[in-house]
Structure 1
Amino acid sequence: MKTKYLISCLALLAIISCKTPLSVANVQTQKNISISKELPEDAIFTKVIEPYKVELEGKMNKLISHTSVDLTKQGDNSNLGNLLADYTFEGADAWGKKNGLPNGVDAAVINIGGIRTNIGAGDILTKHVYEVMPFENELIIVKMKGTDLQGLFDYYLKTQVNNPVSHFYIETENGMNVKELVNGKEIEPTKIYYIATSDYLAMGGDNMSFFEKGELIPTGIKLRDLFLEKFIANPEVKSPTDIRLNFKNKKNKTDE
């Protein structure tokens, strides 16, 4: 026992003796450098990043589509909002049919706040899609009961916010839901619905707590990548003009 104790002590001393003694760095106060337009560029740094800068600018300025009209996010049925909602639906529908949902998805909803800017009439470049959707949101499919989906219609009745939808028709008047349609049909309480949206909304963002009652199905698809793919596939954009949100006698404008 004494031998083991002695060996342990010697080992501990050896470890302690091998440690490098701490030293205090000599810190000296230097003059602050003001960052401004007059600050000269670092020639070496500029030379190193130049090829990457040229490559990035080339990708961002790539022509991917064209629109003959301004695509805007303003209004209850904004053409840009409805277009991106349709792209969300189409992407989720195609993914679902390849991954165990033979009938695809039923509808889609996105938030107008996630659309950061408009796209003017003319050529659409890659950078325009990045400006519209700068976030890394994922496309999510939410499996919901018809009874829980009622929460979505109640949300629009309460907020009357112009969050874009696809394959929904929501009509309100005088504080009441007048029509609530999915693919042109009324909700069936016992039916299972599959709603495409973003991970942000699926987790209850923008107070969409009704999604929390559903089952989330991740797709692994980034919404921005999906939108880029859709614009590339449509050289001439045809913006939707149909009515999806019909808030009659709307008093308070809540457009983003």
Structure 2
Amino acid sequence: MKTKYLIFGVALLSVISCRTPLNVANVQTEKNIALSTDLPEDALFTKTIAPYKAELEGKMNKIISHTSVDLTKEGDNSTLGNLLADYTFEGADEWAKKNGITNGVDAAVINIGGIRTTIGAGDILTRQIYEVMPFENEVIIVKMKGSDLQGLFDYYLKTLKNNPVSHLYIETENGMNVKELVNGKEVEPGQTYYIATSDYLALGGDNMDYFKKGEMIPTGIKLRDLFLEKFIANPEIKVPTDLRLNFKNKKNKIDE
């Protein structure tokens, strides 16, 4: 037994002796420099970043499209909300058809809170799309049974929230859903539906837990990249005018 402890002790000493000695850095107290507008610019730093700054500003201030009306978030069928919901649908639909989902997607849902600002009438610049969508959210397609889609309609009935939709029509009155349509048709409980949304919502964000019943299909498409592509492809924006969310007898304003 003593021999066993002796061997263990020798081994431990060997390991310790092989370690590099710990050197303590010589730490000196330096004077704190308060950040303020009075600090002089670093000429070398300013000169170094100047070409990169100019290039970035050139890209961000590039005119990519034009709108004759304000694109806002106001109302249950907001101009900007419905437009971006349509762009989400179109991008997901194109991807789906190229990746084995023969009939494409059936509808799209995005959240109004994810749209961070509005776009005024006039020229649309690249930087405005970054301001509208500053997040790195990805387009997700959720494969769902028609019976599970009831959770989506119940969500809108409960919240009466103006989260934008595309290829969906939801009508409520006196605390009841009176019409629930996908692509103008009533939902078939046994049918499979493909709903385009963001990864944030697909994972249950904004209390959209009904998506968790479906199968998530990632597309790799970033929403902001998709929106940029769509604005560039549409030099003059045509605002959707169709009615999608029809909350009758809505008393409280829940728009974001």
TM-score category, normalised to shorter length: over 0.9
Structure 1 residue 18: deviation in Å?
Answer: 4.6
Structure 1 residue 28: deviation in Å?
Answer: 2.4
CA distance in 2: counterparts of 1:195 and 1:83, whole angstroms: 17
| Residue aligning to 2:191 | 191
| Residue aligning to 2:28 | 28
| Residue aligning to 1:140 | 140
**Does residue 121 of the first structure (1) align with residue 159 of the second (2)?**
no
| Residue aligning to 1:209 | 209
CA distance in 1: counterparts of 2:20 and 2:42, whole angstroms: 38
AA at the equivalent of 1:167: H
| Residue aligning to 1:173 | 173
| Residue aligning to 1:56 | 56
AA at the equivalent of 2:55: E
CA distance in 1: counterparts of 2:43 and 2:130, whole angstroms: 30
Structure 1 residue 37: deviation in Å?
Answer: 1.1
AA at the equivalent of 1:132: V
| Residue aligning to 1:88 | 88
**Partner-residue secondary structure (3-state), 1:194:** strand
**Does residue 41 of the first structure (1) align with residue 41 of the second (2)?**
yes
Unaligned 5+ runs, structure 2: none
Q: RMSD of the alignment, in Å?
A: 2.0
| Residue aligning to 1:103 | 103
Structure 1 residue 9: deviation in Å?
Answer: 8.2
Structure 1 residue 10: deviation in Å?
Answer: 7.8
Structure 1 residue 74: deviation in Å?
Answer: 1.0
AA at the equivalent of 2:229: E
Structure 1 residue 44: deviation in Å?
Answer: 1.9
CA distance in 1: counterparts of 2:6 and 2:229, whole angstroms: 72
CA distance in 2: counterparts of 1:53 and 1:172, whole angstroms: 51
**Partner-residue secondary structure (3-state), 1:48:** helix
CA distance in 2: counterparts of 1:182 and 1:189, whole angstroms: 12
AA at the equivalent of 1:91: G
| Residue aligning to 1:226 | 226
**Does residue 245 of the first structure (1) align with residue 250 of the second (2)?**
no
> Normalization by structure 1: what TM-score?
0.94
Structure 1 residue 63: deviation in Å?
Answer: 1.0
- Which string of whole-angstrom CA distances, capped at 9 and with x for unpartnered residues, describes residues 99-120 of structure 1? 0011001000000000000001
CA distance in 2: counterparts of 1:19 and 1:46, whole angstroms: 45
CA distance in 1: counterparts of 2:231 and 2:151, whole angstroms: 32
Structure 1 residue 45: deviation in Å?
Answer: 1.8
**Partner-residue secondary structure (3-state), 2:254:** coil
**Partner-residue secondary structure (3-state), 1:102:** coil
**Partner-residue secondary structure (3-state), 1:143:** strand
- Which string of whole-angstrom CA distances, capped at 9 and with x for unpartnered residues, describes residues 173-194 of structure 1? 1100011011111111111000
AA at the equivalent of 1:223: L
CA distance in 2: counterparts of 1:60 and 1:114, whole angstroms: 21
**Partner-residue secondary structure (3-state), 1:88:** helix
> Normalization by structure 2: what TM-score?
0.94
**Partner-residue secondary structure (3-state), 1:118:** coil
Structure 1 residue 163: deviation in Å?
Answer: 0.1
**Partner-residue secondary structure (3-state), 2:251:** coil
